[in-house]
Amino acid sequence: MHGLRWWLVRVWAAPYTLIGLTVGCLCLLTGGRVRSHSGVLEFHGGAVPRVLNRLPLPHVLAVTLGHVVLGRHRDALELTRTHERVHVAQFERWGPLMGIAYLACSAALWCRGRDAYRDNPFEREAFERGQAIPTLAERISPR
């Protein structure tokens, strides 16, 4: 049986989890896979790489939406697990405000000529607290 806090953080993050589950279902319908790991649903394969390619950073290995992580492939989920769990915790703290806060930080940074991804405080926390995970592009052609 789960305690009240467990339920509250899931309800608070639910709007994004539902988006992640929708993409996850598309993943499953296109041959992808899912598994539960430490209270988070992890989807990989199928349509997920095509969905991730449409993001402003098309070479990311994984993305978190609430209590769902979408990875390009199984190895991507393994490589990014610690980093993405920091994002899960952020969704638990920020709930429905997470997307707005993340995008507002990125926009403000971009307007100041800074890196909207690497300088974003949400990403900085994930890179500092989680292991530093390079993007696929950085793994292919390091600086």
- Give 41-62 as a DSSP string: EEEESTTHHHHHHTSSSTT-SE
Phi-psi region of 44 (alpha: psi -120 to 50; beta: other; left: phi over 0): beta
Instruction: Name every residue whose Cβ is closer than 8 Å to that of residue 116 and which is 6 or more positions away in sequence.
Output: 56, 106, 107, 109, 110
pLDDT at 137 over 50: no
d(CA 102, CA 117): 10
Residue 121 CA to chain centroid, in angstroms? 14
Over residues 119-142, mean pLDDT:
71
pLDDT by residue (tens digit) across 22-80?
999 999 999 999 999 999 999 999 999 999 999 988 789 999 999 999 999 999 999 99
DSSP string across 95-111: GGGHHHHHHHHHHHHHH
The verdict on pTM exceeding 0.85 is yes
Instruction: Name every residue whose Cβ is closer than 8 Å to that of residue 99 and which is 6 or more positions away in sequence.
Output: 16
Average pLDDT, the chain: 91
CA-only gyration radius of the chain, Å: 15
Task: Give 64's strand partners.
Answer: 69
* Residues 47 and 32: beta-carbon distance below 8 Å: yes
